[in-house]
Amino acid sequence: MDFDYSVEQDMLRDTLASYLADHYDFETRGAVVATPAGWRPKVWADLAERLNLLGAAFPEEYGGLGGGALENAVVMEELGKALVVEPYLGTVVIGGGLLKQVGGALAAEWLPRIIAGQAVLAFAYSEPQARYSLAEVATTATKRDGGYVLNGRKTGVTGGPWASQLLVTARSGEGISLLLVDADAQGLTRSDYPTIDGGRASDITFHDVFVPAERLLGAEGAALPLVERAADEAICALCAEAVGGMRRMLADTVAYASQRKQFGVALATFQVLQHRMADMFTALEQSAALTLVATMKLDRPAAERALVASAAKAQVGKAAKLVGQAAVQIHGGMGITEELALGHYFRRATAIGSQFGSTDFHLRRYADLSLADAA
Partner 1 sequence: MNLDFTAEELAFRDEVRAWIKQAYDSELKQLMSQSKNGYLDKAGQVRWQKKLAEKGWAAPGWPVQYGGPDWTPTQRYLFQSETAAAGCPIVSPMGIAMVAYVIMEYGSEAQKRRFLPKILSTDECWCQGYSEPGSGSDLASLQMSAVRDGDHYVLNGSKIWTTHAQWADWIFCLVRTSRDAKAQSGISFLLADMRTPGISIRPLPSLDGPIDGEQEVNQLFFENVRVPVENRIGEEGLGWTYAKYLLQFERGVAYGSLLRYLLAKIRKIAKQQPAGGGGMLIDDPDFRRRYAELAVRVEAVDAAEMRFFSGVESGTAVGAMSSLFKLVGTELQQDLSELAVEALGPDALPFVQDSFAEIRGRPASPRPIPDHVAAVTPLYFNYRKTSIYAGTNEIQRNLLARHVLSSAGVRG
Regarding 87 and contact with partner 1 (CB under 8 A), the answer is no
**Which range touches partner 1 (CB under 8 A), out of 137-145, 224-232, 270-278, 306-314?**
270-278
> Using the rule CB under 8 A, is 374 a contact of partner 1?
no
Question: Is 136 among the residues that bind partner 1 (CB under 8 A)?
Answer: yes
> Rule CB under 8 A: is residue 38 a binding residue for partner 1?
yes
User: Of 192, 216, 211, 212, nearest to 202 (Cα)?
Assistant: 192
- When the beta carbons of 195 and 286 are compared against partner 1, the nearer one is 195
261-262 vs 216-217, strand pairing mode: unpaired
Using the rule CB under 8 A, is 201 a contact of partner 1? yes
CA dist 116 and 98 (Å) reads: 17
User: At how many degrees (to 10) do helices 341-353 and 302-331 cross?
Assistant: 150
Q: Does the footprint of partner 1 cover residue 351 (CB under 8 A)?
A: yes
Please say which residue, 303 or 334, places its beta carbon nearer to partner 1.
334
Select 297 or 344, whichever has its Cβ closest to partner 1. Answer: 344
Cα–Cα dist 134/257, whole Å: 43
CB 104 within 8 A of CB 91: no
Cβ–Cβ under 8 Å, residues 150 and 212: no
Chosen residue from 72, 91, 126, 310 binding partner 1 by CB under 8 A: 126
For 224-242, letters b (16+ CB in 10 Å) and e give bebbbbbbbbbbbbbbbbb
CB nearer partner 1, residue 248 or residue 344:
344
How many residues of this chain bind partner 1 (CB under 8 A)?
Answer: 56
β-strands 147-158, 200-212 pairing: antiparallel
Does 116 bind partner 1 (CB under 8 A)? Our answer is no
The site map against partner 1 for 281-310 (x = CB under 8 A) is ------------------------------
Q: 78 vs 127, which CB is nearer to partner 1?
A: 127
